Structure 1
Amino acid sequence: MCKKILTTLSLILFASAYTFSQKTYDLDGLRDLTNYWEIDITGGANQFLGDLGGQKGIGRDGLKDYKTSANRILAGVSGTYNITNYSAVNLAFNYAGIYGADSIIDNTGNMERWRYYRNLSFKSNVFEATATYTFYPIMFMYRNKIELFRFNPYISTGIGLMHFNPKAKLDGKWYALQPFRLEGQGFEEYPDRQPYKRTAIFIPVNVGVKYYFNNRLALSAGLMMRKTFTDYMDDISTTYIDPALFDKYFSPEKAAIAKQLYSRSLTPWKVKPDIVKADASDKDSYVTFSLKLSIRLDKRLYIYYPKL
């Protein structure tokens, strides 16, 4: 699903940019970007894509379960070094909010009903750092003829590191969920379930279009998908456990809270040990639609190579 969406969006962006480029390529007075630095400010809307929330029907990975009401903000800063007019490297630091809730599903009584009755929810702040390489295909095609097109589609990828901390609200108070081990992580009864790490690597993939107002300012509009390797951004992944285990491993006070967080189902009589709680086959992710303002710095970075 994600691959099809990204492929289609890329083709549309490339085709539209090519059309614009043919009309504006020799009239804009835009200078060569090679060896210039840019400072970037990014803002956008995040959508969590995981086990909680979503649209009606069977829950799927990708954008099928995109729900506008679950959007949260992303804000970030980055630095971009333009290797050439058609390639660049970028180091970015972002703050992102993510949110998911079964209660926002439009329950029609069909395949989505079990998620709706599960009635789980979470929120998390995410702090991420990415290092990416960006490629501008239209500029690459015309690299020996044109200094810079005003419209430039791009695609970028690289590596990222994120830190998350899922929380749920109970009686008006927000609780960090990982310490409660709601799926038996670290319990001897579940030797295959270890406490999950809240810092994880991911692979970002960006597609978009960059528009140069002049030789100083540019604005990019893009879509950023993330391939993650964790299924616990929302704190759920596998099955329910026996809630009596909380009494074994926790203090009475902590066990009482854990039991309430463990099951918030609208049909509590159906919640039993080893009943499936979530789909463990798909990892969690989140997608960002963003705008990025780029400011070109005055000085080029000249790199001198020693003569051999």
Structure 2
Amino acid sequence: MDGLRDLTNYWEIDVSVGANQFLGDLGGNKGIGRDGLKDYMFDVNRILAGASCTYNINNYSAVNLGINFAMITGADSLINNTGDMERWRYWRNLSFKSNVIEATGTYTWYPIMHLYHNRMELFRFNPYISAGLGVMHFNPKANLDGHWYALQPLRLEGEGFQEYPDRKPYARTVLFIPINVGVKYYFNNRFGLSAGWMIRKTFTDYMDDISTTYIDPTLFDKYFTPEKAAVAKQLYARSRKPEKVRPDILKADNTDKDSYTTFYLRLSIRLDKKLYIYYPKL
């Protein structure tokens, strides 16, 4: 026995720190770009920090509400161009960064403790899996001459233009499904530390502001002021081979949604149960 008390009906407060990796159309490794960890690049890891509260239903299940602040980025220029299929992304030469604020609600299951659910004390090491629902807000930006421009208002793929009726302005606040796997270690009856991996199933392809094809850049003059049109023209295409950029030429793969993944550490502090004092009636 490890001397750790039953967790049933206890609350915990949690603080998290992690490393984010954007998984979308920009950047990546050799070959055709794919979703998932195939295009994981350490150079574009960015930080996540968060706080949450956890209610332990019993020793093998819990619910959690949390909020995280994260940063993500992607850059075609970081690709190691070997002349394979990654060369098209390297030549495209697009980049972005975004701050992300996300709120999540998840259910966590500890399978080993469930297997030994009659045990009244915890194991010190407990693997877990959790899933739930989240909402995120993102705002992709790109650098031009030292100034960072928000990309969504520039409609770089013709979103909302009459010439592209199927392309609506994309939402920057969207739902996603968070999935966590990890292991939690209890130092004692007060403190625990989790090491985990969060993946996100999103429903947007515009976290990096690209999804479909190039458009005719003269359309920016039709819809924007001269100043805004000039910025849009410079940011919509930044190719190393500008002769290959033409209207309706494929810019990105719109069959895969964007996402980002996080490897994190989470410190949990167990709170004492409220003490109820009985006062006899006089």
TM-score range, shorter chain: over 0.9
Q: 2:175 aligns to what?
A: 201
1:254-269 aligned within 5 A: 254-269=228-243
Q: 2:7 aligns to what?
A: 33
Q: Retained in 2: the 8 A contact 1:219–1:294?
A: yes
Cα deviation for residue 110 of structure 1 reads: 1.1
1:1-16 aligned within 5 A: none
Q: 2:160 aligns to what?
A: 186
CA deviations on 1:32-83 (whole Å, 9 max, x unpaired) are: 0000000000000000000000111110110000000000000000000000
Cα deviation for residue 300 of structure 1 reads: 5.5
* Mapped partners of 2:264, 2:245: distance in 1: 40
Q: Retained in 2: the 8 A contact 1:35–1:301?
A: no
The residue matched to 2:271 in structure 1 has which SS?
A: strand
Greater per-residue helix proportion: 1
- Matching residue's letter, 2:151: L
* Mapped partners of 1:240, 1:216: distance in 2: 56
**Structure 2 counterpart of 1:165, from 127, 139, 163:** 139
Please, what TM-score do these two structures have when normalized by structure 2? 0.97
| Gap regions ≥5 residues in structure 2 | 277-282
Quick check: 1:89 aligned with 2:53? no
Q: Retained in 2: the 8 A contact 1:37–1:300?
A: no
Post-superposition, which runs of at least 4 consecutive aligned residues in structure 1 deviate over 3 A?
none
1:44-193 aligned within 5 A: 44-193=18-167
* Mapped partners of 1:282, 1:74: distance in 2: 24
- Matching residue's letter, 1:132: T
Cα deviation for residue 147 of structure 1 reads: 1.6
Q: 1:279 aligns to what?
A: 253
- Matching residue's letter, 2:181: V
Q: Retained in 2: the 8 A contact 1:38–1:81?
A: yes
Q: Retained in 2: the 8 A contact 1:86–1:139?
A: yes
CA deviations on 1:143-198 (whole Å, 9 max, x unpaired) are: 11342110000000000000000000000100000000000000000000000000
Structure 1 residues 116 and 178: alpha-carbon distance in aligned structure 2, compared to 1, 3 A threshold = same
Q: Retained in 1: the 8 A contact 2:20–2:46?
A: yes
Cα deviation for residue 255 of structure 1 reads: 0.5
Q: Retained in 1: the 8 A contact 2:191–2:268?
A: yes
* Mapped partners of 2:6, 2:265: distance in 1: 23
What is the number of residues matched between the two proteins?
A: 276
- Matching residue's letter, 1:111: M
The residue matched to 1:298 in structure 2 has which SS?
A: coil
* Mapped partners of 1:158, 1:298: distance in 2: 27
- Matching residue's letter, 2:129: I
The residue matched to 1:110 in structure 2 has which SS?
A: coil
Identity of aligned residues (%): 78
Cα deviation for residue 251 of structure 1 reads: 0.7
* Mapped partners of 1:254, 1:95: distance in 2: 30
Quick check: 1:250 aligned with 2:224? yes
Cα deviation for residue 212 of structure 1 reads: 0.1
Aligned alpha-carbon RMSD (Å): 1.0
